[in-house]
Amino acid sequence: MTNVVIEALTKRYGTTTAIDSVSLSIGEGEFVSLLGPSGCGKSTTLRLIAGFETADTGRILFDGEDVAHLPPNRRDIGMVFQSYALFPHMTVAQNLAFGLEMRKMLPAMIRSRVAKVLEMVRLVPEADRYPRALSGGQQQRVALARALVIEPRILLLDEPLANLDAKLRDEMREFITDLQRRVGITTIYVTHDQAEAMAMSDRIVVMFKGEVAQFGAPRDIYERPQGLEIATFIGQANFLQASVTNADGRTMAHTVLGARELLQDAPAEGPVSVLVRPEALTLANADEPGVVSGSIDSIHYSGSLTEYRVRLPGGEMVSVQVVGPGRQERGDAVGLRLAADPLWTIGRAA
């Protein structure tokens, strides 16, 4: 297993800066996702790590060795592309053997290594089939197997599930995560899908405009985003205006839904915005004690969840999520309760 350290990495294309002074430290066997909107620099960062692009400044260290100026074939990485990039004229087994043959490995060792990896990715029955005869999920597993069969130091994946349908994406997401845990290889994964990154990663690098906005565990990024842009990008979010009080060593935020302790330092006084996730709110009867009354403005049903947009008396709109189809209708009067969990300050209110 290999640790990866990126120090002040910068890449420009003419007058455009694709990534700007990106620094990261990725531990041995860690699964890290680079997450962000299109054009944020995540794929450029991955290509620099792989050696397909050359950085203008900065260092890329594998176990302390600077590889920034080495070609891809000398970096000992396995790469999985969005398009799979399989050789159409080769069988599954031949696709896997190709990289080993280029390394001039003995035939007996190649057969052994290919058989082992085919078993690992559950493709033994497909060994003699050609890529065109495989499903999308099977082709994806061949691409993974081809990257792993050379036993690389690092596995790099560039939006590998983007071309799959929703059900297959879920299956492959679980498959890749389980495989990575079993193999224990340091993995860097590029995606624009927040749910994918949250479900698969040990840590997530959130990128905007070529810079790292936040690097942390999925739970920290979701519950404690470092800024409005991250809070908006990761999951659904409500932003409530609050006033702050400090007493007995506790900092409290007072919102239209009640007062809650803050998770972080806030101004001693004055208005702030606090983050309230939709699942932190629950619906109740409008006449129950201790609730804030409102009315259902719109409903979005997605099968496992129903999202209600609730209009509060002051005109504020908040999103509430409940499991299943729910029972409320548009226009219904409802009560809202805020979970007892502390709140997270996003910044000063406008």
Q: CB of 156 within 8 A of CB of 49?
A: yes
Last residue in a domain, options 207, 232, 257: 232
Q: Could you tell me how many residues make up the chain?
A: 350
CATH code, 70: 3.40.50.300
Q: CB of 10 within 8 A of CB of 19?
A: yes
Give CA separation, 259 vs 154, 223, 254, 326, in Å. 48, 18, 4, 27
pLDDT computed for residue 319 by the predictor: 95
CATH code, 257: 2.40.50.140
- The rounded distance, in Å, linking the Cα atoms of 178 and 176 is 6
Q: Which residues pair with 309 in a beta bridge?
A: 298, 319
pLDDT computed for residue 211 by the predictor: 97
What is the number of alpha carbons within 13 Å of residue 49 lying toward its C-beta?
34
Last residue in a domain, options 202, 232, 262: 232
pLDDT computed for residue 84 by the predictor: 81
- The rounded distance, in Å, linking the Cα atoms of 68 and 232 is 34
Q: Do residues 112 and 157 both lie within one domain?
A: yes
Q: Which residues pair with 157 in a beta bridge?
A: 80, 189
Q: CB of 238 within 8 A of CB of 278?
A: yes
Helix (H, G, I), strand (E, B) or coil at 191: strand
Last residue in a domain, options 232, 250, 283: 232
Q: Do residues 244 and 214 both lie within one domain?
A: no
pLDDT computed for residue 8 by the predictor: 96
Q: Which residues pair with 344 in a beta bridge?
A: 275
Q: CB of 207 within 8 A of CB of 218?
A: no
Q: Do residues 120 and 79 both lie within one domain?
A: yes
Q: Do residues 261 and 340 both lie within one domain?
A: yes
Q: What letter does residue 262 receive in the DSSP assignment? A: B
Helical axes 92-102 vs 136-149, angle rounded to 10° = 20
- The rounded distance, in Å, linking the Cα atoms of 214 and 40 is 13
Cα 9 to chain centroid distance, Å, stands at: 21
Q: How many domains does the chain have?
A: 2
Strands, sheet with 238-247, edge to edge from the N-terminal-most edge strand: 258-261, 250-255, 238-247, 271-276, 344-348
Amino acid at 252: M
Q: Do residues 217 and 256 both lie within one domain?
A: no
Helix (H, G, I), strand (E, B) or coil at 170: helix
Q: What letter does residue 343 receive in the DSSP assignment? A: B
pLDDT computed for residue 349 by the predictor: 55
> Phi/psi at 205 (nearest 5 deg)?
-100, 110
Q: Do residues 112 and 241 both lie within one domain?
A: no
Strands, E assignment, the chain: 4-13, 16-26, 31-35, 57-62, 65-66, 77-80, 154-158, 186-191, 203-208, 211-216, 238-247, 250-255, 258-261, 271-276, 281-284, 292-301, 305-311, 317-323, 333-338, 344-348
- pLDDT < 50 stretches in the chain: none
Q: Do residues 297 and 201 both lie within one domain?
A: no
Instruction: Read off the pLDDT of residues 31-83 as tens digits, 9 standing for 90 and up.
Output: 999 999 999 999 999 999 999 999 999 999 999 999 999 999 899 999 998 88
- The rounded distance, in Å, linking the Cα atoms of 348 and 350 is 6
Owning domain of residue 104: 4-232
Q: Do residues 297 and 224 both lie within one domain?
A: no
- The rounded distance, in Å, linking the Cα atoms of 241 and 253 is 9
**Residues 6 or more apart whose Cβ sits within 8 Å of residue 276:** 237, 238, 239, 240, 255, 257, 318, 338, 343
